[in-house]
Structure 1
Amino acid sequence: MFLALNEIKHSKLRYTLVIGVMFLIAYLVFFLTGLAYGLAQENRMGIDKWQADNILLSSEANDNLNMSMIDPKDFDKVDVKDKAELSQLSGIVYREGDKSEKENVSFFGINPDQFITPEVTEGKLFTKDNEVVADESLKINAGYKIGDTIILATNEEELTITGFTKNAKFNVAPILYTTLDTVHKLKYGERAQMQPMKLNAIVTKGKLTDVPSSLQRLTISTFINKLPGYNAQVLTFGFMIGFLVVIAAVVIGIFIYVLTMQKTAIFGVMKAQGISSSYIARSVIAQTFFLAVVGVGIGLLATIGSGLVLPEAVPFQSNALFFAAVSIMMVVVAIIGAFFSVRTIVKIDPLKAIS
């Protein structure tokens, strides 16, 4: 390590460039990791809030919540410790008197006495039809407040915001929690009274002992993975991050290799003086470790700093476990890349190098 650090001190500009390249790649990897995690969370936050074990959909729904239609009578046939009715609808709403600003939302019709009812962080829970509790992103990003009247664009149904809750999004859209009857009215409009009530899902917690044959059981993790676009998004970002980590290893490996080739004569003199190849190799590995750690560390700090100033509309979320795993992976692959230089050092002939 003594030799490695002294060489870095002697050639500050050269090694600063190596650290700079490592920093830029690390920053990009961390930023993409934060975006990938944030987008994934915005797809599933509303589901994670349930802290449930399973979800029951109609057997013909092909694992799609929107396509599922369940007779409310089947709810009583499900034998489990905790269960909750859920009716879901995707819609577009706007503030009363202002059609220019529209928001994509997801309505969750629930029974407020059941376990999937969200914790209200501001205001109060709905107590009657056409009242909603909204995700706080509508307040932060769109300026909605308690008491505002919002209108469903498809049938002009009016709703009143009574409260806000945190971390309630489904398929990236903020959730509006309301009564089951309200969602039924929003779905069918003036024809609501002529249409039988249908649920989209039954959410359960605990061991299921009896499920009607017309229903299909999915674990919550399976249901999340089958959300439209969720798996494709996670895999896309995963491959991008993986390739960037490999690119970082190649870049740092090339830099160290080029620097090693430039010092062939110096290493030859060192070998002629009796310094072993293993000592020189350890110095190169230590040097690579130092450069990678500094570059990755600065990239991580820059990413965390960027996350603090990004607007709420950007789906960026920090995750200490993911960042730690990516950091370790980048340092390890950078060291692996440096082993190509070690092979070169071992093959150096002192007589040829100094001749």
Structure 2
Amino acid sequence: MNLALKEMKRNKGRFIIIGSIVFLISFLTLIISGLANGLSQDNAALIKNLPNGQFYMTEKADGTFTMSQIPQHLQDEVLEQQKDAVALSIQMGFVNDTEELQHGVAFVTSTASNLFPSIQQGEVMLDESLQEKGIKIGDRLVNNQLNGELIVKGFVQEQKYSHAPVAFISQQDYQEMYRSNAMQLIFIANPEVQAIDELQAFSAKALLESIPSYKAEQLSLNLIVGFLIVISGMLFAIFFYMMNVQKIGLYGILKAIGLKTMKLFQLIWIQMLVITAIALILAAGLSQVFALLAPGGMPFHLSLMTTLQFAGIFLVIGFIGATLSGLQIKQIEPLQAIQRGDG
């Protein structure tokens, strides 16, 4: 270990350069990951916040729940048999506040369940993001598809759908607005798939992937993150390969005096670990500062667990890259290496 640290101190310029590159890549990866998670929450928090379970829609809907209309008799049958089941519907719309400003929302209604707020006719519960736009408890909101008014009963946290704040309304108001008595989905809080005649089961992940905007956003951002991770591994491999080429003579001498090949690998691994650890600590700290200073309207969510997961990935990738670059060490013959180094 002392040999590895002494070499880093002697050639600190080279190691600072590679450390800076690793820091920038890991920082960028964490920022993009935070944006991906933030957009995911902003697009589908309503679905993601539900417990592990299965969604059901009609088979004729062909995987598009907005086209699903569950017959009343079938809904009653499922809700009677499954005590933890709830039927719900989601439709995009808008409300006008007391100052006649229009706000886009996702109207949600459901049968009685502790998973969703209990709403009476003429009431509405809104996502807290609308509170920042001046809407207060007790305000009266209107919609041109509804004859009466909706009185704001309260606010809920992190309830978004399709980048719009959720508005929980009663079944009566929903039926009047959308002229439909049928619910679109049935959710059963049970991870095991249960066969129900005329209905098709979907996991939360499968349901989210059926939303075009969600799938496109996450796919593009996750591809960027993946490429950055691969690039970081290639950087480690290239950097240590060039370093090893320059030190072939030194490695020959060390082998000649009895230093084992595994010890040389350990030297590379220690250097990789020190560089990566420092870079990741700085990147993680700065990304948390960015999360605190990010504008309120920016969907950014970077949990400690996600940060630790990426730290582990970068350490593994760095280890693989450094190890691949050191495979040439096994081929070094002490005498030839010394002669090459002298030449």
TM-score (norm. length: structure 1):
0.83
SS at match of 1:229: helix
Residue 120 (structure 2) aligned to one of 127, 148, 161: 127
- Structure 1 residue 209: Cα displacement: 7.5
Partner of 2:6: 6
* Counterpart residue identity of residue 128, structure 1: Q
CA contact (8 A) 2:195 2:201 kept: no
CA contact (8 A) 1:95 1:149 kept: yes
Partner of 1:122: none
Partner of 2:163: 172
Distance 1:335 1:219, change over 3 A: closer
CA contact (8 A) 1:269 1:354 kept: no
Partner of 1:114: 113
Q: What does 1:222-233 align with in structure 2 at a 5 Å threshold?
A: 222-233=206-217
Alignment identity in percent? 25
Greater shift in the superposed pair: 313-322 or 174-183: 313-322
Distance 1:96 1:170 in 2: 24
CA contact (8 A) 1:268 1:354 kept: no
CA contact (8 A) 1:139 1:145 kept: yes
- Structure 1 residue 23: Cα displacement: 0.3
SS at match of 2:292: helix
Partner of 2:140: 149
- Structure 1 residue 47: Cα displacement: 2.1
- The superposition leaves residues 149-201 of structure 1 with CA deviations (integer Å, 9 ceiling, x where unpaired) of 3344777974332100112122332111010111122225xxxxxxx522222
Residue 139 (structure 1) aligned to one of 109, 131, 150: 131
Greater shift in the superposed pair: 234-243 or 170-179: 234-243
* Counterpart residue identity of residue 115, structure 1: N
Distance 1:267 1:83, change over 3 A: closer
SS at match of 1:22: helix
Distance 1:303 1:55 in 2: 35
CA contact (8 A) 2:95 2:141 kept: yes
Q: What does 1:7-86 align with in structure 2 at a 5 Å threshold?
A: 7-51=7-51, 53-78=53-78, 79-86=81-88
CA contact (8 A) 1:245 1:333 kept: yes
Would you say how many aligned residue pairs link Structure 1 and Structure 2? 336
Higher helix share: 2
CA contact (8 A) 1:87 1:180 kept: no
Partner of 2:341: 353
Partner of 2:273: 289
Distance 1:266 1:218, change over 3 A: closer
Distance 2:193 2:6 in 1: 66
SS at match of 1:60: helix
SS at match of 1:103: strand
Partner of 2:178: 187
Distance 1:36 1:209 in 2: 32
Distance 1:338 1:210 in 2: 50
Distance 2:218 2:271 in 1: 35
CA contact (8 A) 2:249 2:339 kept: no
Q: Answer yes or no: is 1:305 the counterpart of 2:305.
A: no
Distance 1:155 1:332, change over 3 A: same
CA contact (8 A) 1:151 1:158 kept: yes
Which aligned segments of 4 or more residues in structure 1 are displaced greater than 6 angstroms?
153-157, 207-210
Partner of 2:316: 332
Distance 2:86 2:258 in 1: 77
Partner of 1:191: none
Partner of 2:153: 162
Distance 1:60 1:290 in 2: 57
CA contact (8 A) 1:126 1:132 kept: yes
- The superposition leaves residues 32-77 of structure 1 with CA deviations (integer Å, 9 ceiling, x where unpaired) of 1222222223333212444363333222212222111233333222
TM-score (norm. length: structure 2):
0.86
- The superposition leaves residues 231-257 of structure 1 with CA deviations (integer Å, 9 ceiling, x where unpaired) of 343333332212111100111222222
Distance 1:204 1:236 in 2: 31
Distance 1:56 1:274 in 2: 68
- The superposition leaves residues 191-225 of structure 1 with CA deviations (integer Å, 9 ceiling, x where unpaired) of xxxxx5222223334589884x4433334443233
- The superposition leaves residues 286-307 of structure 1 with CA deviations (integer Å, 9 ceiling, x where unpaired) of 1112112211221122112211
- The superposition leaves residues 92-146 of structure 1 with CA deviations (integer Å, 9 ceiling, x where unpaired) of 33433243xx4331100224x323323xxxxxx64332x2101112224x33322
CA RMSD of aligned residues (A): 2.8
CA contact (8 A) 1:80 1:210 kept: no
